[in-house]
């Protein structure tokens, strides 16, 4: 999905099915292949491994599909693809200038203090355990974005497994997602 968005192709992911009929039973098709370039699916999960990449490898092995760690560094190219796709009047008019100079792109640094080494870290001294923090993040995101409507055939040979810890959100919302996860990990969330 990450590569498909960056490449700009209309690649579908046949192994990944989305069920919009749960949200809109009258109009949506149940279990259609994922194909969307303005939204992304994010999995929020925890690990007690010292290495986030080791946990990602475990997920990849279980689901039998590639997993990309979304970090502040890997999200910037996704945000750039969304900015490049904008078709606002101001963007169209900006192409009419006679100046050859390019407007510099502004990269906003995310302030996410709990992020390091590829993941968000929960302080061991906090009152909440790691599973409790993960559960609180999931509940907050379910309230805001809805539960994951993702069916994966890679995880279970007997049929599709419905992943609840995946969230579909606009790519432009990824910085907000990072700030939300960071606030829970630092124990400063209102939720």
DSSP conformational letter for 160: P
81-137 tens-digit pLDDT: 766 555 555 555 555 655 544 433 434 568 899 999 899 998 776 678 889 999 999
pTM > 0.75: no
Report which of 31, 30, 41 is spatially closest to residue 4, judged by C-alpha positions: 41
Other C-beta atoms lying within 10 Å of the C-beta of residue 191: 12
Tokens of 103: 């407007």
pLDDT score recorded for residue 1: 43
User: Is the Cβ–Cβ distance between 184 and 136 less than 8 Å?
Assistant: yes
Tokens of 178: 């990072």
CA atoms within 13 A on the CB side of 100: 0
Report which of 67, 66, 63 is spatially closest to residue 157, judged by C-alpha positions: 63
Collapsed DSSP state (helix, strand, coil) of residue 111: coil
10-34 tens-digit pLDDT: 455 555 666 666 556 676 566 666 6
DSSP conformational letter for 16: E
Split at pLDDT 50, 70, 90, the class of 185 is: very high
Asked if residue 179 has pLDDT above 90, the reply is yes
126-165 tens-digit pLDDT: 678 889 999 999 999 999 988 766 666 666 667 666 777 8
Asked if residue 66 has pLDDT above 50, the reply is yes
């Amino acid at each position: 999905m990450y590569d498909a968005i960056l490449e700009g192709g209309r690649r579908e992911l046949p192994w990944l099915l989305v069920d919009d009929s749960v949200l809109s039973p009258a109009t949506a098709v149940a279990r259609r292949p994922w194909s969307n370039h303005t939204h992304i699916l994010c999995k929020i999960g925890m690990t007690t491994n010292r290495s986030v990449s080791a946990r990602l490898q475990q997920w990849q092995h279980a689901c039998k599909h590639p997993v990309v760690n979304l970090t502040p560094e890997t999200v910037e190219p996704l945000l750039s693809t969304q900015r490049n796709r904008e078709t606002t009047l101001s963007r169209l008019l900006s192409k009419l200038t006679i100046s050859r100079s390019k407007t510099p792109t502004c990269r906003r640094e995310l302030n996410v203090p709990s992020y390091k080494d590829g993941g968000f870290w929960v302080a061991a001294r906090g009152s909440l355990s790691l599973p409790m923090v993960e559960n609180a993040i999931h509940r907050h995101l379910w309230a805001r974005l809805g539960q994951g409507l993702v069916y994966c055939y890679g995880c279970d040979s007997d049929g599709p497994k419905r992943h609840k810890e995946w969230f579909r959100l606009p790519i432009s919302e990824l910085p907000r997602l990072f700030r939300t996860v960071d606030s829970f990990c630092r124990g400063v969330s209102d939720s």
